[in-house]
Amino acid sequence: MAVPKVVFTLKEVAEYLNVHPDTVRRYVKRGELPAFKIGTDWRFNKESIDRWRKAQEERCRRALQARWDATKGASQKPKKRSRDGGRA
């Protein structure tokens, strides 16, 4: 029985996230991607990467929802007021 992989190398996490290794290095350098070093090599805990990815997805979903809400609100025409200011 194969043991599930719990720690990735930089190349493996790039493949896992389907991005270029330079992108992973850039995220690590900015402190955006959870990682740790063993000697001079970066390592990534799969569980931490999965949490990070889920948080990114949620952040994107909220941003898209906010854009949708803003667009939807802008397209609705304001109600016209009568000449007497709404008084009967």
Q: Are 42 and 48 in contact, with CB atoms under 8 Å apart?
A: no
- Which segments within 10-51 are labelled E, that is strand? 36-38, 41-45
Domain edges within the chain? 7-71
Q: pTM to 2 decimals? A: 0.69
**Segment holding 7, helix H or strand E:** strand 7-9
The pLDDT mean for the chain works out to 88
Fold that domain 7-71 belongs to in CATH? Multidrug-efflux Transporter Regulator; Chain: A; Domain 2 (1.10.1660)
Structure tokens at 76: 């609705």
pLDDT tens digits along 27-42: 999 999 999 999 999 9
pLDDT tens digits along 46-78: 999 999 999 999 999 998 888 888 887 666 656
